[in-house]
C-alpha cells in the first residue's frame, strides 16, 4: 500500500521517531504513550529493548505523546508532544538549570533532525514552525526537568480509495425510495 512518495502509517512514523532517539548520542531512553505512563512505560533503556523487563528509564529520556492526526487528502499531519528530560538531584536541586540547558539543546537537535534530515526516511517530512518549547521541573515520579514541544509533522500521504480493503459495493439505485 504505497503511494508515489512512500507509505507512512502511524506505526512507521512512531518507529522512525524511536530511531531518531536511538541515534542521538545523548538520549539514553525512549518511550511513547500517554502522559500517565511516562515513567512506567519506557520502551528502551541505554538503546536496548525494555518492553518485557519494564525497568526504570535511564536519562536523558525522549518521551513521545501522540496528540492527533489530520489529513487534507494529500498529506497527513501528525501532532506529537515530545518531551526531553533529565533526572534531578533531589538533595539540593542544584542541577536544574543544567538539566534545562542540556535538554533544550537535545530537543532542538531532534527538531533539526526532523526538519533537515538527509535520510530518505525523513526527507519528505516537513515540520510546522514556529514550535513552542516549554520547560518543566520537579515533574512526574522521578523528579525530572526538561522541555516539551508540540511538534506537527506533515507527511505526504495521499488518501487512496483504490487501495482501501473494501469489497465491491452493490449498485446504487437512486430512483428507489429507501425504507424508513
Q: 9 vs 2, 5, 16, 55, 157, CA distance in Å?
A: 10, 13, 11, 29, 9
- Tens-digit pLDDT string for the chain (180 aa): 444 445 788 999 999 999 999 999 999 989 999 988 776 666 666 667 776 776 677 899 999 999 999 999 999 999 999 999 998 877 777 788 999 999 999 999 999 999 988 777 777 789 999 999 999 997 777 788 999 999 999 998 878 877 888 888 888 877 666 655
In this prediction, residue 39 carries a pLDDT of: 64
Cα gap 80→65, rounded to integer Å: 6
The confidence score (pLDDT) of residue 3 equals 41
Backbone φ and ψ of 15, nearest 5°: -65, -40
pLDDT value of position 2: 42
In 42-130 the beta strands, taken as DSSP E runs, fall at: 44-45, 48-49, 61-71, 75-87, 126-127
pLDDT value of residue 60? 95
From CA 120, how far away is CA 102, in angstroms rounded? 28
Query: What are the helix (H) ranges across 27-153?
Result: 96-116
Contact in structure between 124 and 154 (CB atoms under 8 Å): no
pLDDT at res. 4: 43
pLDDT on residue 40: 62
Instruction: Report the pLDDT value the prediction gives residue 70, as an integer from 0 to 100.
Output: 96
- pLDDT confidence of residue 45: 65
Amino acid at each position: 500500500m504505497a503511494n508515489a512518495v512512500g507509505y507512512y502509517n502511524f506505526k512507521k512514523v512512531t518507529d522512525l521517531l524511536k530511531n531518531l532517539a536511538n541515534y542521538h548520542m545523548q538520549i539514553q531512553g525512549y518511550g511513547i504513550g500517554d502522559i500517565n505512563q511516562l515513567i512506567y512505560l519506557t520502551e528502551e533503556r541505554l538503546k536496548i529493548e525494555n518492553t518485557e523487563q519494564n525497568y526504570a528509564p535511564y536519562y536523558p529520556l525522549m518521551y513521545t505523546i501522540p496528540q492527533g492526526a489530520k489529513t487534507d487528502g494529500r498529506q497527513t499531519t501528525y501532532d506529537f508532544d515530545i518531551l526531553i528530560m533529565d533526572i534531578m538531584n533531589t538533595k539540593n536541586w542544584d542541577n536544574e538549570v543544567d538539566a534545562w540547558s542540556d535538554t533544550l539543546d537535545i530537543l532542538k537537535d531532534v527538531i533539526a533532525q526532523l526538519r533537515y534530515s538527509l535520510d530518505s526516511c525523513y526527507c519528505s517530512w516537513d515540520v510546522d514552525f514556529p514550535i513552542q518549547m516549554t520547560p518543566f521541573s520537579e515533574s512526574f515520579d522521578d523528579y525530572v526537568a526538561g522541555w516539551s514541544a508540540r511538534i506537527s509533522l506533515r507527511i505526504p500521504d495521499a488518501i487512496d480509495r483504490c487501495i482501501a480493503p473494501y469489497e465491491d459495493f452493490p449498485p446504487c439505485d437512486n430512483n428507489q425510495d429507501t425504507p424508513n
